[in-house]
Amino acid sequence: MRVLVVGSGAREHSIVLAMAQDPEVTALACAPGNAGTAAVAEQRGLDVTDPAAAAALAISWKADLVVVGPEVPLVAGVADAVRAAGVACFGPSAAAARIEGSKSFAKDVMTAARVNTATSEIVDNPAHLDAALARFTPPYVVKDDGLAAGKGVVVSADLEVARAHARTLLDDGHPVLLESYLDGPEVSLFCLVDGATVVPLLPAQDFKRVGDGDSGPNTGGMGAYAPLPWASPSLADDLVRTVVAPVAEEMVRRATPFSGLLYAGLALTSAGPAVIEFNCRFGDPETQVVLALLRTPLARLLHATATGRLAEEPALQWADAAAVTVVVAAEGYPGTPRLGDVITGADGEGVLHAGTRRRDDGAVVSAGGRVLSVVGTGTDLTAARQDAYRRLEGVHLAGSHHRTDIALRAERGEITVPAP
């Protein structure tokens, strides 16, 4: 099987590595890729927002399967163009990708599917903002209604901070979504979805705030771990039954069936699980830990999903272990990152590239905000954390920063699900 992976982040590096270990994969390419994917896959230039270019590359490279990593090309219709060219594609149509591309669309789907989510209100006119904010209580949750790479969200008990973020979005022409705050620990659940067929992967937890102790602004994700030692063993199946399957069935009912990876971000509240958001693709950095533990060959699994045969696949196999990933971010992130700094240790074991490139002299340099993900594994969460941070010691990037507490509260047994 010839597999083309579209994207350039640590998520795509993780997918490429998993594909490289699959005996069914005979050729592997990544477009546009990064300095890490170049070590295991052919690199091809591509504007990932150009559906026609993606389809042309799939044909010229003779791909048997295209796997689209990021949300932007999916919302732009890359999967539609690739499938129209006669090539199997893992990723939803542009119509189905609206589950991430428009939060108001996702809310409408959840309402129709009777799935629990936060109370919300869309504001598209600055004149209506103050009255809308008055209908909510602190902490205030203010979101960009469209794609924002995980950084369009502000959660604050300070009304003025919430108002300022909302006004910035509105001034930029972006509708604002106001939501009620959801208590309880958060869970990321990835599900392979083929119409009404839903197969869950391991639940994970990520860390959105930039600083230790969940301090500072939201980011695209600063780390993650799996599995969740504090969660019920039936959590994934329960969430499929009550959340993901009803949404998948509603998408089918609307004649926009979902095919690909449906990612439910949830809070396990005192009133039961509630959806924070849906994404239409593998999440980053959770992919790095989930795929590190998957033992079922990935290419066959994604090809079956892309070709309508997911229901025929046997039960997934997982390592009896834990994984932790820690994101190394460039100076200035999540604001404007400093670029072009030399990275040493970037080729170490467990190091996945995100914002990197290789200079003509062979040096690997920073080329984005989130630069690397360092993954550790072990027999339990304690061992996995130790492994991740030990590997991180070998990575050096001037001015970089990372969180030191990824999975720490879970390791200490400090996370509990609120009682009803």
Residue 111: pLDDT over 60: yes
206-234: average pLDDT: 95
Q: Which two tokens stand for residue 359?
A: 């200079």
More confident residue, 27 or 131: 27
Whole-number Cα distances in Å, 286 to 1, 360, 374 = 26, 32, 12
**What is the model's pLDDT at position 151?**
53
More confident residue, 278 or 218: 278
List of domains in the chain: 2-94 (3.40.50.20), 120-179 (3.30.1490.20), 183-312 (3.30.470.20), 322-411 (3.90.600.10)
pLDDT tens-place string over residues 153-175 = 888 888 999 899 999 999 888 88
Q: What is the DSSP-derived secondary structure letter of residue 220?
A: S
Question: pTM, whole model, 2 decimals?
Answer: 0.91
Residue 420: pLDDT over 80: no
**What is the model's pLDDT at position 149?**
56
**Tokens 């590190």 found at:** 292
Share of the chain above pLDDT 70, in %: 98
More confident residue, 171 or 145: 171
Q: Which two tokens stand for residue 281?
A: 């693709």
178 in Cβ contact with 121 (< 8 Å): yes
Cα–Cα distance for residue pair 180/131, rounded to 1 Å:
15
Least Cα distance to 334 among 223, 211, 213 occurs for 211
295-304: average pLDDT: 97
pLDDT band at 15 (very low <50, low <70, confident <90, very high): very high
Cα–Cα distance for residue pair 24/250, rounded to 1 Å:
34
CA atoms within 13 A on the CB side of 416: 5
236 in Cβ contact with 273 (< 8 Å): no
Cα–Cα distance for residue pair 55/1, rounded to 1 Å:
17
Residue 340: pLDDT over 70: yes
Cα–Cα distance for residue pair 246/115, rounded to 1 Å:
7
pLDDT tens-place string over residues 353-408 = 999 999 999 999 999 999 999 999 999 999 999 999 999 999 999 999 999 999 99
pLDDT tens-place string over residues 32-83 = 999 999 999 999 999 999 999 999 999 999 999 999 999 999 999 999 999 9
Share of the chain above pLDDT 90, in %: 82
**What is the model's pLDDT at position 121?**
85
The per-residue DSSP string of 305-320 comes to HHTT-GGGSPPP-B-S
Q: What is the mean pLDDT of the chain?
A: 95
pLDDT band at 419 (very low <50, low <70, confident <90, very high): confident
Least Cα distance to 407 among 267, 223, 269, 236 occurs for 223
Residues counted in the chain: 420
Cα–Cα distance for residue pair 91/65, rounded to 1 Å:
11
Show the DSSP H helices in 134-231 as ranges: 159-171
Cα–Cα distance for residue pair 173/295, rounded to 1 Å:
45
**What is the model's pLDDT at position 150?**
54
**What is the model's pLDDT at position 148?**
58
